Amino acid sequence: MSARLEHDADNQHDAIAQEQKAVDAAYARRDELLTQANQQLADILADDEVGVARLASVRRWRAELEHAERGLVFGRLDSLDGSTRRLGRIGLPDPVEDNEPLVLDWRARAARAFYTATPLDPQGYARRRHIRLDGRDVIRVDDEPLDPSLPGTDLVGEGALLAALSARRTGTMGTAIATLQREQDDIVRAPANQPLVVQGGPGTGKTVVALHRVAYLLFDQPELARQGVLVIGPSRRFLDYIAQVLPALGETSVVAMTLDTLIPGVETRLPETREVAEIKGRDAWQPALTAYVRSLRPQPAPLTVAIDGEQVTVDGDRVQRAIDASAGRDYHAARRRFIDTMHDALTDGVIALHDQLVASMEEGFEDILAGVDAGLARADNRGVLLGVSGGEVDGSLTDADIERLRTRIADDTVVAGALEKFWPTLDAETTLSRLLGDCGLLTHFMPWLTDGERNQVLRAPDLDTKGQVAPSDLPLLDAIADALGEAHGSNDAQGEFVAHRAADRRDWVYGHVVIDEAQELSAMQWHMVGRRVPSRSVTAVGDIDQAETPHRHTTWEQAVSVAFGDRWRRADLTICYRTPREVMALTPPVLKAAGSHNHPPRAMRDSGYQPWEVSATEEVLIATTARLAAELTERWAGGTVGVIAPSDRLTALRSELPALPVLAATEAKGLEWDATLVVDPGGICREPRGWNGLYVALTRCTQELGQVLLAP
């Protein structure tokens, strides 16, 4: 070993020992605080007087302490004045009250220099140190100088970002706090008072930025925890991929879903073509569906109800006024208001009938009235139990009599049935099926559909689709459910956030929504997202050049204007950390063929592996792919290998390669492997938006790219 290498090894050993001492102290403090949190929780649960907010606060703090077991400390900042700050996944106060924190929470404003300081702008710091842990053991230290005057011999290791990029992929997204760079950190900490759209090409860290933004906002704006944060990913596979990130950051106030699971109890199993999906995704459906649901309200007409054998009629004018008074509400809220008004009107009708009866009694008043009262008091659920008291004396009804009468009318099953027939409660799925199964309704409410488009959308009216819809039906169903509202008004108050409770409710209002692969959303899907966050506190990340869905937008302005108008901001990620220069060099002509006007992101490193190609005939394509995949798997042992192919080849390839992920380009979006094998790239290009798909396929690797070309 050379003297230089020995010196570096000694420095690394000393630095590890120094940091291990600090890490041991941090874990001891964390364990102490966790014990205290458990005791506080036990005390709270034993005290009936403690409020829900206090209970939730202690539970969140305990959860953060529990999740912080993994990678508690990851960084250190050395200032020019000689002071030192260590950063971690949560903040840990020093046992001595007036001392600096033992560990500074990475989301704290005082920690921002760890991500933003550079040699050109050191912000008062001399060195940034990255600390890598295995469990509770420090295994490596990497230093970055921030001030040129710092002697180079005092530095150890290599820059943490490059170290992270060269590490093997394991299939689970790592917590990249320690390698956030400045343009990423600016987005993480951006204000959340308006929609933020983040454009970033492959490997620019869009998802990492979005998830760390969630953690930061929950730390910086604790009120968001009371409503929760919704993270929308493109697939269940993708959500599994990122599953460990937010818990590792100590955040539990999050619901992670795909667009297809936003409505509880509805499954997107019905098949559909790309053409139908494009038609149903258009913005014009939103006003059309609103008008359709509004048309389902009843028309004014006299309303007659049998009450205790007598016909009580509410005249058309009063029905008209009741319908008009319910305007401006959703369908079922208007119905509830109308029914309340009808209960009053029917009560007035019974009173009028009673008064007429009393006025007509000229002889034998007491005997006749007693008979009437006895009839009205029968315990018969077909009628109203009047149960008067004042009338037993002189025939006049007291206020208490009238109130009892109204209550009994409201509870009467015959009255309820008559009102249900006049203004029925509606089910969103049945209401949508009726529309999609009726050519006349489609023609009336969607006159902008061509005859061919209408025929594609039209569904057999007798098709039983209860609980199942096509993916593009889901936003239509959500729009109808929103216009209908809750049938019984029982979900008006959502209360304290609990993840499973929020996930079980279609109408939960979140404090913030994060959308990954946002370029794939149709106009109607954007409306569906917007209903879940009326504040428009949204972070949408994606790459408009990776769009593969059939919707026609090609710019972010076209994509998000339906939901946000012009009140949104854009931020760009321009540096590719994942995909090496050798691979990114292949992408400009692919983007041009896809119709893009954007430049690919700038790759910041070389991998040392030149992309390669192998040709194979149709007869040996599968066997050749299997052989090459085996070679890559051996070469990247400890890491991951992924295979991407045209959709029509997936079944055969998956049968041959059961141990590897074999995906279409649409399924691979957002994922990464050490090595990627792209099979039949020409076949990918022939698929809808195929050049966009090939751009996705080529940019999934962190090290090595191979392509299996189909030989003529």
Please give the annotated binding residues, written as ranges.
Answer: 200-207
Q: What's the rounded Cα separation, in Å, for the pair 538 and 570?
A: 12
User: What are the CA-CA distances from residue 186 to residues 213, 571, 572 (Å)?
Assistant: 10, 9, 10
Give rounded-to-5 percent helix, strand, coil for the chain: 45, 15, 35
CB-facing half-sphere around the CA of 64: CA atoms within 13 A: 19
Q: What is the DSSP letter of 396?
A: P
Backbone region of residue 485 per phi and psi (left: phi > 0; alpha: psi in -120 to 50; beta: other values): left
Nearest to 65 by CA among 53, 57, 75: 57
DSSP-derived 3-state class of residue 332: helix
Q: What's the rounded Cα separation, in Å, for the pair 147 and 65?
A: 34
| Cβ atoms of 586 and 611 closer than 8 Å | yes
Q: Where are the alpha helices (DSSP H) in 423-522?
A: 428-436, 439-445, 451-457, 473-484, 499-503
Largest Cα span, the chain: 127
Q: What's the rounded Cα separation, in Å, for the pair 23 and 86?
A: 9
DSSP string computed for 538-553 = EEEEE-GGG--SS---
3-state secondary structure 340-395: HHHHHHHHHHHHHHHHHHHHCCCCCHHHHHHHHHHHHCCCCCCCCCCCCCHHHCCC
Q: What's the rounded Cα separation, in Å, for the pair 638 and 674?
A: 10
* Residues in binding site for ATP: 200-207
Cβ neighbours around 509 below 10 Å, total: 15
What residues contact 261, with CB distance under 8 A and at least 6 apart?
Answer: none
